[in-house]
Structure 1
Amino acid sequence: MAVDLIIRSEAVYDAATGTASPGHVAVAGDRILSAGRGPGDEHVGPRTRVVDAGDGLVVPGLHDNHTFVTALMLEHAGADVSGCTTASEVVDALRSAPEPPAGGVLLARDAVLGDAARAGLPDALDAAFPGSAAVVLGAGREWLVAGRAARAELGDGLDPGSNEALAPLYAALARDAGVVRRTYTDTARRMAAQGVVSVKEIAFDDYLGMLPVLDDLTRSGDVHLRISFASQPVQAPADLAFGDRARAAHASPRLRFHGFKLMTDGSFDEYTGDLAGPADEWTARQHPTVDYAALRREARRIVAAGHNLALNADGDGAVGRCLDVIEEMLLDGMALPDLLSLSDVSLITDEDARRAGALGVFCEVYTQLLLIEGYTPDLVRDILGPEREQRLGNHARLLSAGARLTSGTDLPLFFPSLGEAMLSAAERRFPGGGPAGGWHPERGLSRAQVVDSWTGTAAAAMGLDGWTGALRPGLRADVAVFDRDLLRVPADGLAGAAAVLTVAGGTVVHES
C-alpha cells in the first residue's frame, strides 16, 4: 500500500529494546502503517514523500507532562517597555497600547528602570489611569508595580515570584482572546521545533475561562498540540461541578480534561520545599508551613468525585506526606484514579521511591533539572547537605522500584529539550559540567529511559496509551526526527540537539 510519508534513518527507535536501528516509519493519513527494519520501498507510491534522516534519531512524538503556558501570557500581552528609562515613558507606552477588554488589565512588561524611576511609578499610574487597572512588570519578573485601580481589582498580593499569587492577573489577561491565541500558537510552534506533540497543561481554577479559545485553536489546527488540561485550585477549593462539565465537554485527545492538581510545598532551591528529617541548618533558615490536613480533605473530595488527581511535591518531606495521603485513601477502600500522579518529585528518598512504585503512581519529574542556570555540585550540597543531595533527581531508584516516570518541564521553568534531558538525567551534568563520570551517576537514567519518559510512559500518563507513544502500526502518526543520533553521540554532542521534523497525527508541524 502506498503511503503519504516515509521517514528513513539509521536510527529508528524501538521502545521494546531501548535501541535504535536502521529502518523506516511509513505514515498513511493520521496513522502509522509500517515501522521497522528496511527502507519501506514497498510503500512508496507516486505521491509518497520520502525523507532521509541520515543518522538522526527517529522517536515517537514527545509528550510534556507538566507545562504552565499561562505564564507565557506575560510575554504576549500589553506593551513592551524595555526601551523606556522613566516612569513617564512607561505611561506613554501604556497610553498607546490597545485598550484591554472589560475586566482586563493594562500591562507594561520587561521594564528596566532604576530605583528612582520605579519609585515614581505608582503615582504616575494613578494619575494617568485613575479608573483602569494598570500593572508594570520588571524584566525577568524581578519586580511588579500596580496602580491603585489594579490593586483594588486584583488585590494587594500580586507577587511576580509566585504564579499562584499572580492568579488574578492571569485571569484578567485571559479575558483578551487575542492574548490567549498568540500565547498558545507561539508556544505550540516553539514546542514543535523540539518534537513535542502533546502537553499536560496546568491553569488555575476554571482554566481562567480560556477553554472556548483553546477549543477553537485545537479544532482549527492553529495549535497542533493535544492538550490534557488540569485545574489547579487557587482562589477557591476545587470546583467539582466545573470538573464534571469539563470532563463531559472535553473528552477527545485534542482537548481533554485531565483532573485537578493540588500544591503542597514550593521549591527546595528557594528554601520553600518541605524537606524530610529533623530540624537542621536548612529548616532553621526557613521551613514551609504546609496544611496537610487540608490537603488530605481536598484530595479525598476530588478522588471521591471520580476525578484524576496530581499532588505537587518538590521536597522529599512533601513527597512522603503525599504518599501518606494516597496510602490512606487506599486503606480506606477508596478507588484511586487511573491517572494518579506526583508532580515535580525533585527530591525523594529510596524508601519513598519504593512506596511510589508499589502504589503505581505516575511520577512527573524534571529530567532537565540539573541544568538550571547557576546549579553546581557545591551549590546543591550547600543547600541540601551531603546526605540529602543524593535524593535530587533520584530517577534510577524510582524506575527500579516500578514507579512510572514521566518527563515534564513546568514550562517556562524549562523549555523542552530531549538532548538537555539526556545531558541532565543520563549524563548527570550541570551547566558547567561536573565531576568526571557524572554527578551521582548511579541515580541517573539511561538515554533510552529518558526517551521512554518523554514518549510511551508520558502518553500513558495522559490517558493516551495504545493510541500514541510508540512507533507501531495502527497508532497515531506522531513522530519526532532529530538532527543527530541522541543515543550514540558523545555527551558533549547532546546540547543543542533539535528536531528537524515533527509529525503530529500525520501532519508535518515542523521542519527545518
Structure 2
Amino acid sequence: MSIANTAQTVLLSHCIFDGTGRAPFDGYVAVADGRILAVGAGPCPESLVTSETELIDLGNKTVSAGYTDVHCFFTGYTMGFVGVDLSKVASCEEILATVKAYAETLSAGKPVLGHGWNSKVLHPAGPHALDEAFGSRPVILFAAGGETCWMNTAAQKAYHFTPETCWPESYAELLPVVLGDRAYIEPEFRRYMQLMNSRGVTSVKEMGFDDYDGFTDVLADLEKDNALTLRVSFMTQPVRRNADLPYARAMRDKFKGEFVHFSGFNRMTDGSISQLCGDLKKPYNCAPDTTCAQEIDWKLIGDETRAVDAEGFRFSLHAQGDAAISKVLDIYETCHRDEHGRVINRHSITDLEFSDPADLERMGKLGVIAEIYPQIQSIADRAGKLAMIEEKIGMERGKYYWNRRKMADSGVLLSCGTDLPLLIDDIPQSVYHAVGGYFPEGGEPFNKQNMLTVPELMTAWTRGGAYNLGQEKELGTLEAGKKADIAVLSGNIFTIPVEDARSLAVVLTMVGGKIVYQAD
C-alpha cells in the first residue's frame, strides 16, 4: 500500500482526539488517497500542503475517528417506513380510507402494508374492520414507534404474529416480503446510510435473521457499485432455525471487500427486568418465587456457541440480568482460549443492564467484549425507572445498574450500540447519559459511581467498535496509514459541561477520505 506524499485534505482543530490514549490536542489530520497521511500537534507541516490541498479549519470542534455502532437492526428500522404513510391520519376511519386507496395501486394479492399511525391517540378495535374491507388479503399497519400494529386475520394467519407480539423476531416471516422488494429496500438503505453518516457513524454491525432473506445481495451490489458510505459487518441471528454454519461459511468467503464483512452470530438470552424476564441470581422482590419468567434454552445456546466457536466464528449473546450474564460467561469459558485464558474469537455480550461485579471481573479476564447501550437512559424518566428498580429488585441491587465503570476498571473492552431502531445514534447524548448519569429531564445523576469518563466513552465509540468488528488495524484511531473515516462534532466534547453535551451535533463525516455528510 502506498499513498501520496502530500495531502488532498487537511483538517485543522484545537481538539483532535486520536483514540490512542493520549489527551486531545491542537493539531491537524492530513488525508490522501482515502487514508490518513499524517496526524500531529501544532501547525500542519508545509511539506504536506500544496496549492491543491483543501484546508478545513474547524476551530474548537472535536475531530475523532468515525463512530461504530455495534448493534443495529436496519430491518427493524425499515419497517417504520414500509407501505403507505399514516402519520397524518386523524381517525381509524381515515386509516381505512387511506389504506383502501393505497391498496388499489398495488398488484393483486400483494400484502398491504402501512406505517406511522399514532397508537396513543387512535385505538383500532381488533381485526374486524380490516377483515371486512380486505378479506383474505393480508394487511399490516405498523404504529409509529413499532410497538404495535393493526392487522387483519389473514395477515395473522400468513405471518404468524399478532399485534401483541409485534416485534422483529415475531414478524420474521414478513421480512422476506419487505427485504425482497428491491424497489423499496435499496432506496431505504441509502437513506439509512445518510442518517447514520449524519450522526458521525461510519461503521455498523447489523443483525439479520437467519440468511438475511437475500438482503446481502443488495449489500453486494451496492459495494460493487461503490455506493456504500457505511461499512457493514453483519451477523446472522437464528430465528426460524438454529445457527446455520454452512451459510456463515458462504458469507465469510463471499464478502472480502472494502465495505461488507460477515461478523458471526447473534442471539437473545433473557429479556427485560421490567417484565420479570431478566434472568436473575436471586428472586424478584415482587415475585419471590421467580428468578426469570421466561424459559431459556441454555443448553441450546451453549451447544450452538461452542459449535460456532469451533469453526472460528464469533457469537454475540444479549443478556440483561446478572444470572444471564454469568451463564453466558460460563459458556464462553468453554470456548477456545489463548494461553492467557482469553477467548480467541472475540465473543461479546450485548446490553449488560444489571450485572454482578464479580462477573465483570471474570469478563475482563476472559477478554469478552461488552456491547453497551450508552443512550439507554434517554428512553426512561427518573421516577419511573427508579420505581421499577425498587419494585423488581430493590435499590441495594439497583446500585449495579449500568455498571460501566466496573467494566472499564476490570479491563473489559467497551464498544457501543443502540439496538437501533430502539435508539438512534447521538454521541453527545450518550455522553450526557453514560458520563453524566442523567435522565432526559436532568436533575440528580443516577448511579454516578458507575459512569465512564468522556475519553473512555469516545474510545468505546471509535477504537472499541473497530476492535469489535475485527478492523482495529484499519479503523478506530487517527493514525498514519489507517483509513480516513472521521467524525467532527460542533464543539469540544471534552471541555463542555457534561450537562450541556446534548447541545453538540455532528457537522462533518468522512468515509475513506470522502466527505459523506456536512452540516449546512
If the TM-score is normalised by the length of the shorter chain, which range does it land in? over 0.9
SS in 2 for 1:464: coil
Q: Read off the aligned partner of 2:34 and give its amino acid letter.
A: D
Q: Read off the aligned partner of 2:124 and give its amino acid letter.
A: R
Task: Answer yes or no: is the 8 Å Cα contact 2:10–2:56 preserved in 1.
Answer: yes
Partner of 1:275: 280
Partner of 2:246: 241
Task: Answer yes or no: is the 8 Å Cα contact 1:76–1:179 preserved in 2.
Answer: no
Partner of 1:163: 168
User: How many residue pairs were aligned?
Assistant: 509
Any idea what the Cα deviations from partners look like across 1:397-442, whole Å, max 9, x if unmatched? 111111111111111111112211111111111112242xx33222
Partner of 2:386: 378
Q: Read off the aligned partner of 2:417 and give its amino acid letter.
A: G
Partner of 1:328: 334
- For the structure 1 residues 499 and 85, does the alpha-carbon distance in structure 2 shift closer, same or farther, using more than 3 Å as the test? closer
CA distance, structure 1, for counterparts of residue 511 and residue 397 of structure 2 = 41
SS in 2 for 1:252: coil
- For the structure 1 residues 292 and 82, does the alpha-carbon distance in structure 2 shift closer, same or farther, using more than 3 Å as the test? same
- For the structure 1 residues 139 and 501, does the alpha-carbon distance in structure 2 shift closer, same or farther, using more than 3 Å as the test? closer
Shift of 1:124: 3.5
CA distance, structure 2, for counterparts of residue 47 and residue 41 of structure 1 = 15
- For the structure 1 residues 246 and 472, does the alpha-carbon distance in structure 2 shift closer, same or farther, using more than 3 Å as the test? same
Partner of 2:430: 421
- 1:315 equivalenced with 2:324 (yes/no): no
Partner of 1:94: 99
- 5 Å-filtered alignment, 1:42-81, equals 42=46, 43-81=48-86
- For the structure 1 residues 197 and 116, does the alpha-carbon distance in structure 2 shift closer, same or farther, using more than 3 Å as the test? closer
- 1:466 equivalenced with 2:473 (yes/no): yes
SS in 2 for 1:178: helix
Shift of 1:300: 1.9
SS in 1 for 2:167: coil
- 1:111 equivalenced with 2:108 (yes/no): no
- For the structure 1 residues 49 and 380, does the alpha-carbon distance in structure 2 shift closer, same or farther, using more than 3 Å as the test? farther
- 5 Å-filtered alignment, 1:44-443, equals 44-97=49-102, 105-112=111-118, 118-119=124-125, 122-157=127-162, 159=164, 161-281=166-286, 287-330=293-336, 336-376=343-383, 378-379=386-387, 381-382=389-390, 383-435=392-444, 438-443=445-450
Shift of 1:103: 8.6
Shift of 1:359: 0.6
Partner of 1:31: 35
* Farther-moved stretch of structure 1 (482-491 vs 88-97): 88-97
SS in 2 for 1:210: helix
Task: Answer yes or no: is the 8 Å Cα contact 2:319–2:350 preserved in 1.
Answer: yes
- For the structure 1 residues 278 and 127, does the alpha-carbon distance in structure 2 shift closer, same or farther, using more than 3 Å as the test? closer
Any idea what the Cα deviations from partners look like across 1:151-210, whole Å, max 9, x if unmatched? 232114564553211212233211211332233222211111111100001011111221
Partner of 1:497: 504
- For the structure 1 residues 116 and 486, does the alpha-carbon distance in structure 2 shift closer, same or farther, using more than 3 Å as the test? closer
TM-score by length of 1: 0.92
Q: Read off the aligned partner of 2:192 and give its amino acid letter.
A: T
Shift of 1:323: 0.7
Partner of 2:6: 2
SS in 1 for 2:145: helix
Shift of 1:57: 0.8
Task: Answer yes or no: is the 8 Å Cα contact 2:310–2:336 preserved in 1.
Answer: no
| Residue in structure 2 matching 1:448, options 452, 455, 459 | 455
SS in 2 for 1:481: strand
In the alignment, structure 2 segments of 5+ residues that lack a partner are: none
Task: Answer yes or no: is the 8 Å Cα contact 1:356–1:403 preserved in 2.
Answer: yes
CA distance, structure 1, for counterparts of residue 359 and residue 266 of structure 2 = 20
Task: Answer yes or no: is the 8 Å Cα contact 1:184–1:223 preserved in 2.
Answer: no
* Farther-moved stretch of structure 1 (282-291 vs 379-388): 282-291
Task: Answer yes or no: is the 8 Å Cα contact 2:436–2:499 preserved in 1.
Answer: no
SS in 1 for 2:75: helix
- For the structure 1 residues 507 and 498, does the alpha-carbon distance in structure 2 shift closer, same or farther, using more than 3 Å as the test? same
CA distance, structure 2, for counterparts of residue 181 and residue 305 of structure 1 = 32
CA distance, structure 2, for counterparts of residue 134 and residue 222 of structure 1 = 33
Q: Read off the aligned partner of 1:122 and give its amino acid letter.
A: P
Shift of 1:372: 2.1
In the alignment, structure 1 segments of 5+ residues that lack a partner are: none
Shift of 1:131: 4.2
CA distance, structure 2, for counterparts of residue 337 and residue 186 of structure 1 = 36
Shift of 1:450: 0.3
* Farther-moved stretch of structure 1 (499-508 vs 102-111): 102-111
Partner of 1:20: 24
Q: Read off the aligned partner of 1:226 and give its amino acid letter.
A: R
Task: Answer yes or no: is the 8 Å Cα contact 2:62–2:492 preserved in 1.
Answer: yes
Q: How many percent of aligned residue pairs carry the same amino acid?
A: 29
* Farther-moved stretch of structure 1 (219-228 vs 20-29): 219-228
CA distance, structure 2, for counterparts of residue 330 and residue 141 of structure 1 = 39
Shift of 1:337: 4.5
CA distance, structure 1, for counterparts of residue 177 and residue 277 of structure 2 = 27
Task: Answer yes or no: is the 8 Å Cα contact 1:264–1:290 preserved in 2.
Answer: yes
Shift of 1:284: 5.4
CA distance, structure 2, for counterparts of residue 425 and residue 353 of structure 1 = 17
Any idea what the Cα deviations from partners look like across 1:435-464, whole Å, max 9, x if unmatched? 2xx332221111000011011111011010
CA distance, structure 2, for counterparts of residue 362 and residue 307 of structure 1 = 14
Any idea what the Cα deviations from partners look like across 1:450-496, whole Å, max 9, x if unmatched? 01101111101101011111110000001111100001111232013
* Farther-moved stretch of structure 1 (446-455 vs 144-153): 144-153
Any idea what the Cα deviations from partners look like across 1:332-365, whole Å, max 9, x if unmatched? 9999552211111122111000110111011101
- For the structure 1 residues 279 and 479, does the alpha-carbon distance in structure 2 shift closer, same or farther, using more than 3 Å as the test? closer
Task: Answer yes or no: is the 8 Å Cα contact 2:437–2:451 preserved in 1.
Answer: yes
Task: Answer yes or no: is the 8 Å Cα contact 1:101–1:176 preserved in 2.
Answer: no
Any idea what the Cα deviations from partners look like across 1:5-56, whole Å, max 9, x if unmatched? 1000001113333411110000001100010112214222122111111101
